[in-house]
Structure 1
Amino acid sequence: MNFTKRLFVTLLFIISLSAFASPSNNPLMQKGWAALVKDNENEAFGYFWQALEKAKKEKNTADKAESLLYLGICSYGSSLEKGLQFVTKSLNEYKNLEKTDPEKASVGRYKCLQLISTIYVRQKKYDEAMELSTEVVDGLKDKNDKSGTLGLAYNSLGSLHELKNERFEAEEYYTLALEEFEKTKNIAYLPSSYCRLGEIAKEKDFKDESLNYFKKALALAESSENKQAQVTALIAMGNWQMQFEEDTAQAENYFNKARIIAVPLSDKTFEIKTIEALIELKKEQQDFEEVSKLQHQIIAIKDSFFSYEREQIVKSLEVQFDVSEKNRKLELISAEQKVSRLTNFLLVTVLIVLILVFTILFFFLKRINKRDKQLLKTKEELVNLMEEQKQLKEQQFQNDIEHKESQLSAITIQMLEKNELLDEIKTILSKKEPTSEKDLKKLVSKYTIQDNNWKDFDNYFESVNKNFYTRLKQKYPEISTNDLKICALIKLNLSIKEMASILNISPDSVKTARHRLRKKLQLSTEENLTDFILTV
């Protein structure tokens, strides 16, 4: 492959990076991309791998697919196979995303296809690469693509047609790419397009137009710190000096600047391009000794490139291991923190529950205590009320007894007074005529023996002395009615004289009646009749 074609391949690589200069809002991927643009591949790989692990943990399919895509971009410069593995996994994840976010899945798929196309170019699978880039164009040309993937596909197709010496088609695709990049204001994409259009203008001997494109490419590459694009633009300007100005000194100056920038780059193909440009220059100057030295340098770089690839693979594995270890430690810390938070939560919950239980218990006991106090107070009031009622009833009962006793006493006195009056009448009448005296005595005796007063006496006596007569009759069945009268008068604690007056008999008759009563009551000579009657 001649120098021009090798330059085209280099441009394809630059284009492949610029197409993905706008990652999602994921901070880890943004940091990774910033590091990758500055050719800090190990640092970039670390950020992309952290983003992948985080996406797996959060089960975020979109971030998982994108982080795999950027791991492919980061890896294929040192290992095409590794890059292809990552982008294939990304393609599968975007396929899983089709159900939940078909738009993002579609854009992601086209990004993956374009990266695979770039890898195929480096593997010299130009037909397969063109087929994939064509599919990307067909899928995005009628859509408002803001990812820059459509412009990248145009650029890739332009370079592939140029490799086939199809200048017209190449220029057409480069122009479409430039329009697409300018429309979407993707500054990171423009340097490669300017370089390609500048190369075409240079081949047409459009001196000023081609130089203007190269200057624009260099200015944008420097402003975006895209070192790979800077190398390509400087080589292009050196070649322009050799073709139009034949100023080999200025051209060598451009090549040396490009080589200084390319030496620290991880992709040694850029350093090789600068050395090849210097070889072409030295051939023009016929400095074959220097040409030989430069060729040996290229051989040394290519020899070291394979070991570098292995070294990069080892470093990427180390980064994966470090990230995995960090994630494991973070997970352990997170688990400990989770257990601690759970423990604290349980303790706080138990404390709150205990406080609630004690609060409820306190108010419950307080309520019970209040209720008990209220019940006790009510009971006391009820007892006091019952005591008052009892006292009132006792007082009323006592009043009734006193009233009935007074009534009984009154009747007794009335009987005494009546009988005394009748005795006086008898005495008076005993002094008058016998015939009238006889009739009067009969009338008085008839009045005296009437039971009306005794009936009233018995009623009042029974109300004061409940069942007195009944108890005596039950205990002593032989007792007579007159005996019950004697017992009632003894109960009233009347004297023999008073009993004789009430009964209208002589005191001796009362004594005789009392004697007979003692026998019926079966009392001994030592027992007092009055005391016995009072106990009944």
Structure 2
Amino acid sequence: MKFFFQFVFYAFLFQLGFSQNQSNALIKKGWEELIKDNENKAFFYFWEAKEKAEKTNNSFDKAESLLYLGICSYGSNLQNGLQFATQSLETYSKLENTSVIKAKMGRFKCLQLISTIYARQGKYEEALQLSKEVISELENENQKDETLGLAYNSLGFIYEQKNSYSLSEKNFKKALVLFEKNKSYAYVPMCYFKLGEIYRKKKNENQSLDYLNKALKVSIETKNKQALINTQIALGNWYYQFKNDHTNAKNYFTEANKNAASLKDKTFQIKTIEALVDLNFKTEKDYKEIASLQNNIIKIKDQYNNFKQQQTFKNLEIQFEISEKDRKLKIIETEKEKTNLINYFLIVLILLIASIAITIYVFLKRINKRDKQLLVTKEKLFEALQKQEELKRKQFQNDIEHKESQLSAITIQILEKNELLKDIKQIINKKESQNDTEIAKLISKHTFQDKSWQDFDFYFESINKNFYTRLKNQYPEISTNDLKMCALIKLNLSIKEMASILNISPDSVKTARHRLRKKLQLSTEENLTDFILSI
């Protein structure tokens, strides 16, 4: 039982650290009530804060509210306190991706609260591991706050229960340094008190008294009654152990009992009475007084147990009342939501129909306008294409006519020259000497040159594209003279005209045509002229 009472004192100090920098108004009110020892009101405010956070989807406030519910609950119901602390830890874990620092610090506070609850349950190893985890993480932080000090405090307390006084002393001193550095004076009396107790158990008289006097002084300055009661009990034990001073010991126990009477947590009063019983039994052995004191303990325990039960029932009633209130509000909100939803649906439907009608109208209007524009554009394009086509056709016709005229001129020129040559031959055949000079002049003036055929080929090819090439590709054995014959046939000239141009007799033209038919591998039924024109 001694451990339990000491631990309740420690737990209250642990709770005090969570109230700093709290911005939520409901949690602030709850904390103020908790400090005043009004657990029911505190629980109501913390629960309200949780409900509000859930409605507004504020995960951070929800995690904080659950943490404070755990702090408020575990004194009367360890299981409820553990459940709230675990829920808070889970909620903080979900915030690690958005609010890293807040989630991290919240997680450490949850772990330390769970460690405290485990220690209350006697699960020292589990509590030890959790506090060590908090320390390993927070020791690397630049700014070391009271959470790290509380973790050291936990380790000191656990090692004390395991009788590892050296480790307990080491951790309490670390906690004390941090608390004094951060001016967290609410925790300082606890450290002094614990160090005084450790030195008392180690029978170090002077150091024990020094720490206990410091604890007494700071407790009075900070008005920390729980720390004051524990310190007064420890001082009473010190005077009895080292000085065998029953009077001073009894005075400290009696003073502690008076201070404990004003606290709602009756475990402190039970602890002071047990100290008086133990002292009386060792010294005066006044069994009547001992019996009276023990009856008081039984009566206070019964009252305390009833108080705890009432606290639990009240907490349940508060939860039920809040839940019922929320249920009714939800029903009203649901009805409002239904009405709003119907109105919203009707408005949306009307707007949707109107927007569809407008959209269809605008769409059809745009399509009509676009079709008109497209039709006008097509008509203009068609006219432009017709004009372009007409211009091309005229240009092409002009080119053809020009080239045909050129080709005809060249052909006529060739005919005239060859006719001239015939006249010359006739003159020569007469063998008149006076004609020699005239013949020479005619020949020098009208001598047929290869350039005439080159000009002929140029204009002929420009009208009949790749005519010569197609013939040569199909009939590789065809000669240059054959190609000339083919060109003249393509121009649809008579045999006489061909003979005059080629300067050969009509019979020679017929012979040349006959040879050409063979080279072109034409049958007797096929017409040479039609074949050449088809190429």
* TM-score (structure 1 length as normaliser): 0.57
Q: Please give the secondary structure, in 1, of the residue aligned with 2:177.
A: helix
Task: Tell me the residue number matched to 1:120.
Answer: 118
The one-letter code sitting in structure 2 at the alignment partner of 1:93 is T
Do the aligned partners of 1:171 and 1:200 also contact (CA within 8 Å) in 2? yes
The match for 2:450 is: none
Query: Is the CA contact (8 Å cut-off) linking 1:38 and 1:225 kept in structure 2?
Result: no
Q: 1:66 to 1:200 in 2, by over 3 A?
A: same
Corresponding residue for residue 440 of structure 1: none
What is the deviation of 1:146?
A: 4.9
Q: Deviations over 1:448-470 (max 9, x none)?
A: xxxxxxxxxxxxxxxxxxxxxxx
The CA deviation at 1:176 is 0.7
The letter of the residue matching 2:278 is E
Q: Is the 8 A contact 1:15 1:189 kept in 2?
A: yes
Do residues 275 (structure 1) and 247 (structure 2) align? no
- Distance in 2 (alpha carbons) for counterparts of 1:185 and 1:32: 24
Corresponding residue number in structure 1 for 2:81: 83
**How far, CA to CA, are the matches of 2:251 and 2:179 in structure 1?**
31
Distance 2:159 2:195 in 1: 13
Partner of 2:289: 290
3-state DSSP class of the match of 1:187?
coil
Q: 1:41 to 1:306 in 2, by over 3 A?
A: same
Q: Distance in 1 between matches of 2:319 and 2:255?
A: 35
Instruction: Name the counterpart of 1:57.
Output: 55
Taking the aligned partners of 1:255 and 1:73, their CA distance within structure 2 comes to 29
Residue deviations 1:353-383 (CA, integer Å, cap 9, x gap):
xxxxxxxxxxxxxxxxxxxxxxxxxxxxxxx
Residues 313-365 of structure 1 show CA distances to partners (whole Å, capped at 9, x for unaligned) of 11112223444566678889999999xxxxxxxxxxxxxxxxxxxxxxxxxxx
Offset at residue 311 of structure 1 (A): 1.3
- 1:199 to 1:102, Cα distance in 2 relative to 1, 3 A: same
Going from structure 1 to structure 2, the CA distance change for 1:288 and 1:305 (only over 3 Å counts) comes to: same
Cα distance in 2 for partners of 1:164, 1:188 equals 26
Q: 2:64 aligns with which of 63, 66, 72?
A: 66
Aligned to 1:203: 201
1:173 positional shift = 0.6
- 1:337-356 aligned within 5 A: none
Equivalent position of 2:256 in the other structure: 258
Q: Is the 8 A contact 1:8 1:163 kept in 2?
A: no
Secondary structure of the 2:186 match is: helix
The structure with higher relative contact order (CA 8 Å, sep 6+) is 1
Counterpart in the other structure of 1:319:
318
1:315 counterpart SS class: helix
| Mapped partners of 1:302, 1:125: distance in 2 | 25
Report if aligned partners of 1:31, 1:44 keep a CA contact under 8 Å in 2. Answer: yes
Q: Once the two structures are superposed, what CA deviation does each residue of 1:85-124 show, in whole Å capped at 9, x if it has no partner?
A: 1111111111111111121111111111111111112211
Say if 2:124 and 2:158, in contact at 8 Å, map to a contact too.
yes
**Partner Cα distance (2:71, 2:81) in 1:** 6
Q: Which deviates further from its counterpart, 303-312 or 58-67? A: 303-312
Provide the residue aligned with 2:133 in structure 1: 135
**Do the aligned residues in 2 keep the contact of 1:23 with 1:29 (CA within 8 Å)?**
no
Q: Is the contact made by 2:153 and 2:175 (CA closer than 8 Å) also made in structure 1?
A: yes
Correspondent of 1:157 among 155, 158, 164: 155
SS at match of 2:234: helix
CA-based RMSD: 3.2
Q: State yes or no: 1:176 paired with 2:148.
A: no
Contact 1:14 1:229 in 2 (8 A): no
Find the partner of 2:212 among 187, 190, 214.
Answer: 214
Q: Over residues 119-151 of structure 1, what are the superposed CA-to-partner deviations in whole Å (9 max), with x where a residue is unaligned?
A: 112211111111211111112111145541111
The residue that corresponds to 1:301 in the other structure is 300
Are the structure 2 counterparts of residues 143 and 302 from structure 1 closer, same or farther at C-alpha, using a change threshold of 3 Å? same
SS of the residue 2:141 aligns to: coil
CA contact (8 A) 1:218 1:234 kept: yes
Shift of 1:10: 4.2
Helix, strand or coil: the match of 1:121? Answer: helix
Residue identity opposite 1:312 in structure 2? Q
Q: 1:6 to 1:119 in 2, by over 3 A?
A: closer
**C-alpha distance after superposition, 1:218-263 (max 9, x if no partner):** 3433444433223212222222332344443333233233223333
Work out whether residues 23 and 33 of structure 1, in 8 Å CA contact, stay in contact via their aligned partners in 2: no
Matches within 5 A, 1:426-445: none
**Aligned runs of 1:440-479 on 2, under 5 Å?**
none
**CA spacing shift, 1:259–1:194, aligned 2, 3 Å:** same
| Contact kept in structure 2, 1:21 and 1:188, CA below 8 Å | no
Residue type at the aligned position of 1:293: S
Label 1:37 to 1:244 Cα distance change in 2 as closer, same or farther (>3 A): farther
Q: Give, in whole Å, the separation in 2 of the partners of 1:207 and 1:14.
A: 28
Number of the residue aligned with 2:247: 249
> Residues of 1 paired with 2:116 and 2:256: CA distance?
23
Q: Distance in 1 between matches of 2:306 and 2:5?
A: 24
Q: Which amino acid aligns with 1:140?
A: L
- Distance in structure 1 (CA, Å) of the matches to 2:262 and 2:321: 24
Tell me, in whole angstroms, the C-alpha distance in 2 between the residues paired with 1:259 and 1:335: 56
Contact 1:76–1:119 (8 Å) recurs in 2: yes
In structure 2, give the amino acid aligned to 1:101. S
Percent sequence identity over aligned pairs: 50
In 2: Cα distance, 1:120 partner to 1:249 partner: 38
Larger Rg: 1
Amino acid at match of 1:73: I
CA contact (8 A) 1:72 1:87 kept: yes
Return closer, same or farther for 1:336/1:212 CA change in 2, 3 Å cut-off: farther
SS in 2 for 1:143: coil
Select the residue among 177, 184, 187 that pairs with 2:185.
187
Structure 1 unmatched runs, 5+:
339-536
> Which secondary structure does the structure 2 equivalent of 1:127 belong to?
helix
Which residue number in structure 2 is paired with residue 16 of structure 1?
A: 14
1:206 Cα deviation from its structure 2 partner: 4.5
Distance 1:329 1:256 in 2: 53
Q: Please report how far the alpha carbon of residue 6 of structure 1 lies from its aligned counterpart in structure 2 after TM superposition.
A: 5.2
User: Is residue 137–residue 150 contact of structure 1 (8 Å, CA) maintained in 2?
Assistant: yes
Q: 2:221, 2:326 → 1: CA distance?
A: 36
Mean CA deviation greater in 16-25 or 88-97: 16-25
Q: Cα 1:40–1:251, aligned 2, differ >3 Å: closer, same or farther?
A: farther
Q: Partners of 1:330 and 1:216 in 2: how far apart?
A: 54
